[in-house]
Structure 1
Amino acid sequence: MRDETVGEAGEFTVIDRATQGRVQPATTLVGPGDDAAVVAAPDGRVVATTDMLVEGKHFRLEWSTPEQIGRKAIAQNGADIAAMGARPTAYLVALGCPPSTPLTVTDGLTEGLWAEAAVVGAAIVGGDLVESDQLVISVMALGDLEGRSPVLLSGARVGDVVAVCGRLGRSAGGLALLAADRDGAPELLAAHRVPMPPYSQGPVAAGAGATAMTDVSDGLLADLGHIASASGVSIDVSSAALTGDAVLNSAAVDLGVDELAWLLTGGEDHALAATFPGDAVVPEGWVAIGTVGEGGGVTVDGKEWQGSVGWRSFGK
Structure 2
Amino acid sequence: MQEPRDRTARRTLADVAVLAGTSVPTVSKVLRGGTDVSLRTRRAVMAAVEEAGYVPRHGARLRESGAALIDFVLSDVHGSWVHEALGGVEGAATAADHDVVLTIARRDGAWVQRVLRHRSAGAVITLVDPTTAQLEVLHAAGKPFVLMDPMSRAPGYAASVGVSNWEGGRSAAEHLLRLGHRRFAAIGGGRTHLYSQARLDGFRSGVAAVPDGTVVAVDWADWRRHDARAAAAPILARPDRPTAMFACSDLMAIGIADAARELGLRVPEDLSIVGFDDLPEAGWATPPLTTVRQPISELGAAAVRMLLQEPNGSPTARRVELATSLVIRDSTAPPA
- Using structure 2 for the length normalisation, give the TM-score: 0.21
Which one has the bigger strand percentage?
1
Which one has the bigger helix percentage?
2
Q: Using CA pairs below 8 Å that are at least 6 residues apart, which structure has the higher relative contact order?
A: 1
- Using structure 1 for the length normalisation, give the TM-score: 0.22
Return the index of the structure with the highest Cα Rg: 2
